[in-house]
C-alpha cells in the first residue's frame, strides 16, 4: 500500500515545534548585535575634543612654519628674479658692444679687400673659430696695424665678458626656477595644513564647538592672570631700579671709570630705543582688527612676521622677513626684562612672533581666520614662549 504520510512542513523546529517567525527574529537580533559590535570600534576611534583641539593647533603651527618657508622662498625668488633681469639686460648691452666690435673688425677686412692689401689680417681673424686660434698665429699679429690690434683687443674683451655674463645669466635663471619650485611647494603645504584644520573643525557638532569655545575662554583667562603676574613683577623691578637710581643721584658724585661720564650713556640708549619702540607700537596698534592672511605684509592684512616687520619699518628699523631670521636680528633679553617694542617669539621651531606692549601683553596676527589683536603673551601657555629679542 502506498504511503499517505503528509510531507514534513518546512521551517525550523525548537524543541519539536516549528517556529519560522522565531527563527527570523533570532537571526535579525544576531545581525543587529554584529553590526553594533562592528560599529563600536568606530566610535572608539573618534578623537576626543581635547585631541581635536591639539590637532588643530598643531596644524595651524605647521601652517605657520610652512608660511615662513613660503615667505623665505618668495623673498629669495624676488631677489633672484631681479638678479636674473639685471644679468639679462647686461648680456644684451654686452652683446651690442660685441656686435659693434665685430663691425669694426669687419670694416678693416673690407678695407683690406678693397685696397688689395697683401695681408688680410682682420678677415683671417673673423674666419677663425675662436679669438685664441687667431692669436696663436703670431706672425699675422706682427703684421697688424695699431688700430687693428686695438679693435681685436676690444673684440676679444667684449666676447669674453659677454660669454661670462651669459653663463651667469643661465645659472641665475636655473636658480630662479628652483626658487619658484620651492615657493610652489611651500604654498601647497600651507594650503593643505589649513584645509586639514578646517576639515577637523567641520566635523565637530554644535555642542562640541561650544565646549571648545569654553575651553578657549578658560585658556584666555589663565593667560590674562599670568600676564597680570608678569606685570606686577616688572613693575616691582622697575621700582627697585628707580629707587637705586635716586640713591645714586642723591649720593656723592663718584669719580673715575664709574662716574657720571660713563653711567649717562645707558639712559641715552634706552631713550633712543623707547622712541623707536613707540613708533613701532603706534603702527602695530593701528593694524588691530585687520585680518591674518598667510604671506601678507600689509597694508590690508598681515601674517605674524609681516606685522612685526612692518611695525619696526615704521620706526626706521629693517627686519628680515621670516620669524627664524627675525629672532637673530637683535639682542636676546630675559622675559622679566621685556620692554614695549620687544619681539616675543614662540615654539621650539620659532614659527610665531608678536610685538610686546607691556604688562604681559602683545599685539600679534594669530592665525588664519583671526584678526590682528592685543593678547596675553601666555595665550598658548608659558611653555610656548621661545625668547624675547630687542631689535634696535
Which residues, including other chains, have CB under 8 Å from residue 203's CB and lie 6 or more apart?
none
Residues 6 or more apart whose Cβ sits within 8 Å of residue 186: 66, 67, 69, 70, 73
Is 146 annotated in the active site? Answer: no
Q: What is the DSSP track for 362-390?
A: EEE--STT-B-EEEETTTT-GGGEEEEEE
Round to the nearest angstrom and report the end-to-end CA distance of the chain.
120
DSSP 8-state assignment for residue 253? P
Among 165, 364, 386, 390, the one annotated catalytic: 364
CA-to-CA distance for 206 and 332, rounded, in angstroms? 44
201: enclosing H helix or E strand:
helix 146-202
Burial bucket for residue 77 (CB in 10 Å: 0-12, 13-18, 19+): buried
Catalytic residue chosen out of the listed positions 63, 304, 355, 372? 304
d(CA 51, CA 47): 6
Longest C-alpha distance within the chain, in Å?
144
Known catalytic membership, residue 4: no
Catalytic residue among 352, 367, 386, 390: 352
- How many other C-beta atoms can be found within 10 angstroms of the C-beta atom of residue 183? 21
DSSP three-state, residue 329: coil
24 is catalytic: no
Q: The C-alpha cell of 306 is what?
A: 609681516
Active site residues: 304, 352, 364
Amino acid at each position: 500500500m502506498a504511503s499517505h504520510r503528509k510531507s514534513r512542513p518546512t521551517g525550523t523546529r525548537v524543541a519539536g515545534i516549528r517556529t519560522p517567525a522565531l527563527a527570523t527574529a533570532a537571526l535579525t537580533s544576531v545581525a543587529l548585535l554584529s553590526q553594533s559590535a562592528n560599529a563600536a570600534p568606530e566610535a572608539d576611534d573618534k578623537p576626543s575634543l581635547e585631541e581635536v583641539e591639539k590637532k588643530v593647533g598643531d596644524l595651524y603651527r605647521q601652517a605657520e612654519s610652512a608660511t615662513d618657508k613660503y615667505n623665505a622662498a618668495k623673498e629669495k625668488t624676488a631677489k633672484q628674479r631681479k638678479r636674473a633681469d639685471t644679468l639679462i639686460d647686461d648680456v644684451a648691452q654686452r652683446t651690442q658692444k660685441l656686435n659693434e666690435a665685430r663691425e669694426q673688425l669687419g670694416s678693416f677686412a673690407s678695407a683690406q679687400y678693397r685696397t688689395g692689401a697683401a695681408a688680410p689680417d682682420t678677415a683671417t681673424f673673423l674666419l677663425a673659430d675662436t679669438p685664441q686660434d687667431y692669436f696663436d698665429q703670431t706672425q699675422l699679429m706682427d703684421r697688424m696695424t695699431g688700430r687693428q690690434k686695438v679693435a681685436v683687443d676690444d673684440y676679444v674683451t667684449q666676447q669674453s665678458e659677454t660669454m661670462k655674463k651669459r653663463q651667469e645669466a643661465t645659472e641665475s635663471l636655473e636658480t630662479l626656477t628652483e626658487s619658484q619650485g620651492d615657493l610652489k611647494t611651500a604654498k601647497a603645504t600651507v594650503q593643505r595644513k589649513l584645509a586639514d584644520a578646517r576639515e577637523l573643525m567641520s566635523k565637530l557638532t554644535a555642542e562640541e564647538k561650544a565646549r571648545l569655545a569654553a575651553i578657549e575662554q578658560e585658556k584666555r583667562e589663565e593667560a590674562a592672570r599670568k600676564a597680570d603676574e608678569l606685570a606686577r613683577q616688572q613693575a616691582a623691578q622697575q621700582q627697585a631700579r628707580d629707587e637705586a637710581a635716586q640713591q645714586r643721584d642723591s649720593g656723592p658724585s663718584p669719580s673715575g671709570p664709574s662716574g657720571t661720564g660713563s653711567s649717562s650713556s645707558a639712559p641715552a640708549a634706552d631713550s633712543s630705543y623707547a622712541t623707536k619702540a613707540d613708533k613701532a607700537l603706534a603702527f602695530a596698534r593701528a593694524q588691530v582688527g585687520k585680518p591674518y592672511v598667510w604671506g601678507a605684509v600689509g597694508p590690508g592684512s598681515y601674517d605674524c612676521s609681516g606685522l612685526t616687520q612692518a611695525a619696526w619699518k615704521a620706526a626706521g628699523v629693517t627686519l628680515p622677513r621670516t620669524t627664524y631670521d627675525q629672532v637673530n636680528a637683535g639682542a636676546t633679553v630675559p622675559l622679566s626684562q621685556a620692554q614695549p617694542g620687544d619681539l616675543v617669539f614662540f615654539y621650539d621651531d620659532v614659527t610665531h612672533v608678536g610685538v610686546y606692549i607691556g604688562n604681559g601683553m602683545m599685539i600679534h596676527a594669530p592665525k588664519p581666520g583671526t584678526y590682528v589683536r592685543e593678547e596675553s603673551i601666555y595665550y598658548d601657555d608659558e611653555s610656548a614662549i621661545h625668547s624675547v629679542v630687542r631689535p634696535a
